[in-house]
Every structure is written in C-alpha cells, then in structure tokens.
Amino acid sequence: MDNAYHQLLSDIKATIRQERQKAIRQLNRSLISVYWEIGRHIIERQQHEASKDFPNLRQLVAEIPWGYAIFQTASEELPRL
C-alpha cells in the first residue's frame, strides 16, 4: 500500500505539472495575441498620421518588396497562433 500511495502522489504531481505547462502555453499565446493587436493599432495609427505628413510613404514601402513580403507574411501567420 505504501508503494501504491507514492505512485498515486507521483501521478497527481505529474498531472499538475502538465496542466500548469498547458496553462502557461495558453497564457503565452494570449499575451502574444494581445501584444500583436496593440502593435497593429500603433502601426495603423502611425501610418494614418504618416500619411498626412508623408503622402508617398506607402509607395516607398511598396518599392521595398522583401520588406513588404516579410511584413505581409508575418501579419498573415501571427494571428493563427
């Protein structure tokens, strides 16, 4: 019985550890999503303000295809996390 009791405690501890890890991963996903949204709002605001001050900014960004491609890919992939 002593051995069975120790096994039960070990199983319970393992379950708690696993669930804590799941909770941490979910929290990290949620935080990444929140920070992504905050960043998106900041960028949109900056772009809106910049379009007033620098009307050709979008054209300039479009002329740098690799930078735009990286931004486009990231903006499509990150929300899926």
pLDDT at 44: 82
pLDDT of residue 37 exceeding 70 = yes
Tokens (6 digits) for 8: 């039960």
d(CA 43, CA 15): 42
pTM, two decimals, is 0.50
As a whole number, mean pLDDT of residues 3-25 equals 94
Contact 8, 56 (CB under 8 A): no
Q: What is the pLDDT of residues 39-64, one digit of tens each?
A: 888 888 877 776 666 666 666 666 66
pLDDT at 1: 63
